[in-house]
Amino acid sequence: MKPLRKALDSVEPLFKKGGKLEMLYPLYEAGDTFLYTPGEVTSTGSHVRDGIDLKRMMSLVIVALMPAILFGLWNTGYQANIALQHDAPAFQAAAPEGTTITYEETEGGLYNVSSVTGSDWHYWIIELLGIGYSPDNPLACIIQGAVWFLPIYIITLIAGGTCEAIFAVLRGHEINEGFLVTSMLYPLTLPATIPLWQVALGIIFGVVIGKEIFGGTGKNFLNIALTSRAFLYFAYPGEVIGDKVWNAASQIVRQPDGTFATVDGWSSATMLTWLGANGGSTLTDYQNWYSGMGAGSFDWFSSFIGTIPGCIGSTSALACLIGAAILIGVGIGSWRIMLGCVIGLVATTLPLWLIGSETNAMFQIPPWYHLVIGGFAFGAVYMATDPVSASMTNTGRWWYGILIGFMTALIRVINPAYPEGIMLAILFGNVFAPLIDYFVVQANIQRRLARVA
């Protein structure tokens, strides 16, 4: 590494003040700090020194995200491969002209798919790798998941990173590490089939409108990844919350005009989406419909593990719990916020579930199901605990978490037009976080004044 260090040191004067490339110093600094930990540390007693800086904090958050990322890769491929295994003829019948799915029927009535040709470029890569389409092969599932996840992640890095670099150059400050976490959170909240140009548009909106116009890292009051997703949620609902966007196999039957052809017997809608569109149905109706597709049973345990349709990285409550343990253990994630979200959600959905409704299927979902379906666990662990946009005081964190859980339940159950409520609930909580802290501080001041009066 010494030659690289010497090379960076030799060109550093060009980027320093007065150098020919002075305006590009943020780009030089970003590369230098990415490769080497900053060598400048405080040495005198007047400074408060800690063992953790922003770079290390971001690195630990990324480590905590690894369980969700790895499970998301596997589940994305697993959901696609199991759809092909059960309905390969239906997918072939609905596929555009020129697409060929080669398969043979097995004794159990399932289909062993050996190749998918003429489809979009994702399946071209899978064919090139020759890994196959068996849902029983973990490596085949992970690779298929990676083929869908990595392009979304790379586009997020390029589009969002370019915006960060432009603002850093214009303002003459360093490129912050916070975007590394945003660039991983954002793709995990998206369906695998989302068009890449929409991915770029969403992250550009989030970085520019959600962060940079307020001054950059540390000055945004909204979570960047959720701001990006919220933009796509309202701008392109058909690609983000439609009933056929959750399964990568559905891309095989996507028509040239961008619409999905109908695959009889296979829709792969999430529980929240399905119940939101079938007002008079019950949880049992969804479970029977899900089992009828041949994708296995839909119950609390499968939802907890995460082997269900959903966004790339947010289906597994178990993976989120592992991430929560890491965040709490290293002192980055607030357990008060996470527990507050759970209390708010359960306390609100319990009476609604007891009251029931014959016209709104969302009332039929028990409180313990709300904890493991949709993106609640992912949002409560990774999004609500964002140290920049969350409440800062310990008491405020309790109320902030409870508010998010409460709003999640209201949006999901009372207004089924928005079947997934955690995203809007966290953004709502972000807006009220400063006000919550204000009242907590004022209450402390009044309490102390009363004590000395």
Spatial distance between the Cα atoms of 44 and 135, rounded to a whole number of angstroms:
59
Compute the distance between CA of residue 347 and CA of residue 350 in angstroms, rounded to an integer: 6
Residue owning tokens 């003429």: 118
Q: How confident is the model at residue 10 (pLDDT cuts 50, 70, 90)?
A: confident
Per-residue pLDDT tens digits for 31-40: 777 666 655 6
Q: What is the pLDDT of residue 262?
A: 65
Residue 453 has pLDDT above 70, yes or no: yes
Residue with tokens 């966007």: 245
Instruction: Quote the pLDDT of residue 204.
Output: 95
**369, amino acid identity:** Y
Crossing angle between the packed helical segments 224-235 and 196-210, to the nearest 10 degrees: 130
421-429 average pLDDT score: 92
Rounded CA-CA distance 295/287 in Å is 11
pLDDT in tens, 274-322: 777 776 677 787 777 777 776 677 889 998 999 988 889 889 999 999 9
Instruction: Let me know if 343 is exposed, middle or buried by CB neighbors in 10 A (0-12, 13-18, 19+).
Output: middle
Q: How far is the CA of 412 from the CAs of 108, 235, 343, 406, in angstroms?
A: 39, 20, 16, 10
pLDDT tens figures, 426-438: 999 999 999 999 9
Find all residues with CB under 8 Å of 186, minimum gap 6, and list them. Answer: 156, 160, 202, 203, 206, 224, 225, 228, 229
The tens digit of pLDDT for each residue in 331-342 reads: 889 999 999 999
| pLDDT, greater one: 380 or 53 | 380
Instruction: Note the pLDDT of residue 44.
Output: 65
Whether 163 and 201 have beta carbons less than 8 Å apart is answered as no
pLDDT tier for residue 250 given thresholds of 50, 70 and 90: confident
How far is 451 from 376, CA to CA, in rounded Å?
41
Higher pLDDT, 247 or 198: 198
- Work out the pLDDT band at 452, boundaries 50, 70, 90: confident
Decide the pairing of beta strands 100-105 and 111-117: antiparallel
Return d(Cα 327, Cα 325) in angstroms, integer: 6
- Supply the pLDDT for residue 280: 67
pLDDT score at 254? 74
Query: Mean pLDDT, the chain, as a whole number?
Result: 86
Per-residue pLDDT band for 108 (boundaries 50, 70, 90) equals confident
Q: Over range 114-133, report the average pLDDT.
A: 88
Which residue carries 């998206």 as its tokens? 190
pLDDT, average across residues 414-421: 76
**pLDDT of 156 above 90:** yes
- Which stretch, 5-19, 116-130, 245-259, 399-413, has highest mean pLDDT? 399-413
Residue pLDDT, tens place only, 84-98: 888 888 888 888 888
Cβ–Cβ < 8 Å for 119, 251:
yes
The pLDDT, as a whole number, for residue 67 is 95
Q: Is the pLDDT of residue 266 over 60?
A: yes
Contact 364, 283 (CB under 8 A): yes
DSSP secondary structure of 231-265 = HHHHH-HHHHTSTTSS-GGGGGGB-TTSPBPP-TT
C-beta of residue 312 within 8 angstroms of C-beta of residue 187: yes
- The residue type of 307 is T
Nearest to 401 by CA among 414, 387, 385: 385
Measured distance CA(145)–CA(153) in Å, rounded: 12
**Is 131's pLDDT higher than 70?**
yes
Q: What digits encode the pLDDT tens for the residues 344-367?
A: 999 999 999 999 888 888 888 899
What's the average model confidence in pLDDT over 234-250? 81
Sign of the four-CA dihedral 227, 230, 234, 236: positive
- Token digits of residue 223: 């979570």
Predicted pLDDT at 226 = 92
The label of the residue with tokens 């000395």 reads: 452
Q: Residue 83 and residue 135: Cα distance in Å, rounded?
A: 9
Confidence of residue 56 (pLDDT cuts 50, 70, 90): confident
Report the pLDDT value the prediction gives residue 109, as an integer from 0 to 100.
81
Q: Is the pLDDT of residue 206 over 90?
A: yes
Query: What percent of the chain has pLDDT above 70?
Result: 91
pLDDT at 43: 64
Question: First-to-last CA distance in the chain?
Answer: 65
Q: Name the pLDDT band for 207 (thresholds 50, 70, 90).
A: very high
Q: How far apart are CA 72 and CA 314, in angstroms?
A: 7
**What is the phi-psi region of residue 223: left when phi exceeds 0, alpha when psi lies from -120 to 50, beta otherwise?**
beta
More confident residue, 107 or 258: 107
- Which of 173, 178, 190 is closest to 332 using CA atoms? 178
Do 311 and 229 contact (CB within 8 A), yes or no?
no
What Cα–Cα distance (Å) separates residue 150 from each residue in 35, 82, 188?
22, 21, 11
The rounded distance, in Å, linking the Cα atoms of 385 and 276 is: 28
Q: Which residues contact 446 (CB under 8 A, 6 or more apart)?
A: none
Q: pLDDT band at residue 121, thresholds of 50, 70 and 90?
A: confident
